[in-house]
Amino acid sequence: MPTPSTQNHFFARSVSVFISAILISFLSACATVTHDKPALHTSLEQWTSTETIEQLHQRLLNNEFSVTDLTEFYIHQIETKNPQLSSVILINPDALTIAKQLDQELTQGKIRSKLHGMPILLKDNIETQDMPTTAGSFALKDNHTRRDATITKDLRTAGAVILGKANLSEWANIRSERSSSGWSAIGGQTRNPHDPSRTPCGSSSGSGASVAANMAIAAIGTETNGSITCPAAVNGVVGVKPTVGLASRFGIVPISHTQDTAGPMTKFVADAALILQHMSSADELDSATSARVFDRSVNLVPTTKPLDQFKLGMFHSSATNHEQVKALEQQLIEWLEQQQVSLVKDLKTSPYSGFWNDTYQVLLFELKHDLNQYLGGLPNQYNALTLEKLIEFNENNKAIEMPYFQQEIFEKAQQKDDLDSQEYQTALKKIREETRNTLQSMINENKLDALTAITRGPAWKIDRVNGDNANGGVSTYSAVSGYPHITIPLGKVHGLPIGVSIMGLPHQEAKLFEVAQALESLIQQQSMLSKNDSE
């Protein structure tokens, strides 16, 4: 088994092997590339930082760059920035081969979609047929399933280049109560590009940090409770947790079948909507995606609408206990009022006594059931694994798996009974009623289009000794209910990003994207005015 000193060696050796393969492909491609490489790199750096996927797609069609150019650019971005950020576990060794194939299709007049040729990272709990899926653990180090998760297949069909695997909080942050977000045994500690001493949050840590550092056009994260919206907010990007079931969960390492979902993390709202559109499909391997429940003919990509067409509710966030976050919230309220937006303020939740414990117990029950079911269905030698055997593996490999925190969540989950337990059934019913009834009454009684709130406070210092020092958030009610939640960048406190959330009722993604895009436009306009005033 690997020793404590081999963790960094394993990571460096793995990246070195795959980068060597990529360089061979790169050198063979050079003879056919006609663009001025240094000048093109500079242009791509600007374009990819400031333009939407639709705008980049148009440049691609105009032959201003090729899919191979764009993929090479992002490989270079990862090689340059990943040593500091540790946000990518693996570059896809097939990335340039895929890019060349997509270039060939363009020469033949075949355009799959506006995602054609766009490099996207996947969180490393999402299966791909060309890379292992590890969940950040050495227990799954060589887990080549040789299959794509349904969302991976959908993205490939749309023409996306699967660029690589993003780092994550190991096992999607469901192993220890004292974990450090963004740390995994295989990937090491992901860092926030705005301040590498601070957390990227999690568990979609590498996905959020990579997009913020422009190491991919976009990334896909997963969320059970806050694992997309928190890293999106603290890294200063857009994050979308859709209605549970809009995107298939097949081929994703699970925690909770009632709460788990994948979702896009992007620089712009329109990009997130476009990607989610192509991630959404009915899948017989995930009953939650039933076509009878979801109308996938709805166009999720928003049209531009003025904010005064919407009625919004301001949901209380404990993040505003920080006085500068509170000031940012007040600034947003003033902007909205200047736009004549109808706004209902000071909406709050009043969870019943025992609510937070019930949400935890439900996750423990579902973790044991869902993870055992997933592991048992793997099409390789790893199908002999169980939660109990993972606990044993971690104990036998403490030096590499548990150098900073333990596995008390795993151990508590292992003690739980089956899902027909009365304890589980009662807790699940109570937390669903609490969250769904609360959100429905807030929105329906006030005739709101959406709820808004500060997503999370500023990123805290990374502390692998004491664990995360999270400072307030609003993810739980949307997560437990299974309802959609979008976060977009609002501003900064001490140079650290703060996000604003847009939350709503199930199947209302199209409306929420319209609200989110209108808010995004307002925030960008106000930021530009503030910048001009200060100059």
Separation of alpha carbons 444 and 440, rounded Å:
6
Same domain, 403 and 518: no
Structure tokens at 273: 């909507």
Q: What H or E segment, with its residue span, contains residue 240?
A: strand 238-241
Q: In the chain, how many domains are there?
A: 3
Q: Which residues contact 128 (CB under 8 A, 6 or more apart)?
A: 92, 122, 148, 149, 152, 162, 165
Say which CATH number the domain at 257 has. 3.90.1300.10
Predicted pLDDT of residue 1 = 38
Same domain, 176 and 271: yes
- For residue 86, is it within any domain? yes
Predicted pLDDT of residue 472 = 80
Predicted pLDDT of residue 533 = 62
User: Dihedral sign, CA of 154, 157, 160, 163?
Assistant: positive
Same domain, 24 and 122: yes
Walk along the chain (535 residues) and give the pLDDT tens digit of each residue: 344 344 444 444 454 444 444 443 443 444 344 568 899 999 999 999 999 999 999 999 999 999 999 999 999 999 999 999 999 999 999 999 999 999 999 999 999 999 999 999 999 999 999 999 999 999 999 999 999 999 999 999 999 999 999 999 999 999 999 999 999 999 999 999 999 999 999 999 999 999 999 999 999 999 999 999 999 999 999 999 999 999 999 999 999 999 999 999 999 999 999 999 999 999 999 999 998 899 999 999 999 999 999 999 999 999 999 999 999 999 999 999 999 999 999 999 999 999 999 999 999 999 999 999 999 999 999 999 999 999 999 999 999 999 999 999 999 999 999 999 999 999 999 999 999 999 999 999 999 999 999 999 999 999 999 999 987 899 999 999 999 999 999 999 999 999 999 999 999 999 999 999 999 999 999 988 776 665 5
Q: Which of 373, 394, 424 is the last residue of a domain?
A: 424
Predicted pLDDT of residue 36 = 80
- For residue 301, is it within any domain? no
Chain centroid to CA 43: how far?
A: 27
Same domain, 440 and 374: no
Decide if 210 contacts 165 (C-beta within 8 A).
no
Q: Which of 376, 407, 424 is the last residue of a domain?
A: 424
210, 227, 281, 475: which one is catalytic?
A: 227
Separation of alpha carbons 271 and 320, rounded Å:
29
Say which DSSP state 485 is in.
Answer: E
CA distances from 145 to 127, 138, 156, 164, 505 (A): 7, 15, 17, 15, 35
Q: Which of 424, 454, 470 is the last residue of a domain?
A: 424
For the beta carbon of residue 207, count every other beta carbon within 10 angstroms: 40
Separation of alpha carbons 342 and 340, rounded Å:
6
Same domain, 227 and 203: yes
User: Dihedral sign, CA of 120, 124, 127, 129?
Assistant: positive
Decide if 126 contacts 228 (C-beta within 8 A).
no
Same domain, 197 and 91: yes
Predicted pLDDT of residue 390 = 99
* Angle formed at CA 181 by CA 175 and CA 186, multiple of 5 degrees: 70
Same domain, 130 and 11: yes
Separation of alpha carbons 25 and 18, rounded Å:
11
Chain centroid to CA 41: how far?
A: 27
- For residue 252, is it within any domain? yes
Decide if 264 contacts 276 (C-beta within 8 A).
yes
Predicted pLDDT of residue 222 = 99
User: E strands along 297-341, which residues?
Assistant: 311-315
Task: Provide the residue range defining the domain that includes 389.
Answer: 355-424
Give residue 338's region: left, alpha or beta (phi > 0; psi -120 to 50).
alpha
184 in catalytic set: no
User: Dihedral sign, CA of 33, 49, 188, 162?
Assistant: negative
- For residue 165, is it within any domain? yes
CA distances from 425 to 319, 419, 429 (A): 32, 7, 6
- For residue 296, is it within any domain? no
Q: Which of 117, 224, 118, 245 is nearest to 168 (CA)?
A: 224
The letter for the amino acid at 75 is: I
Q: Phi/psi of residue 188, each to 5°?
A: 75, -160
203, 207, 256, 501: which one is catalytic?
A: 203
Same domain, 317 and 257: no
Same domain, 387 and 262: no
- For residue 408, is it within any domain? yes
Q: Show the 3-state SS of 382-433.
A: HHHCCHHHHHHHHHHCHHHHCCCCCCHHHHHHHCCCCCCCHHHHHHHHHHHH
- For residue 436, is it within any domain? yes
Same domain, 334 and 363: no
- For residue 473, is it within any domain? yes
123 in catalytic set: yes
Structure tokens at 384: 């002999």
The residue with tokens 């079931």 is 245
Predicted pLDDT of residue 470 = 83
Decide if 379 contacts 143 (C-beta within 8 A).
no
287 in catalytic set: no
Q: Indicate the pTM of the whole model.
A: 0.93
Predicted pLDDT of residue 528 = 81
100, 114, 123, 511: which one is catalytic?
A: 123
Same domain, 276 and 314: no
Decide if 411 contacts 367 (C-beta within 8 A).
no
Predicted pLDDT of residue 25 = 46
Same domain, 330 and 213: no
Separation of alpha carbons 222 and 265, rounded Å:
10
User: E strands along 339-393, which residues?
Assistant: 342-347
Q: Which residues contact 315 (CB under 8 A, 6 or more apart)?
A: 347, 348, 442, 451, 452, 453, 474, 501, 503
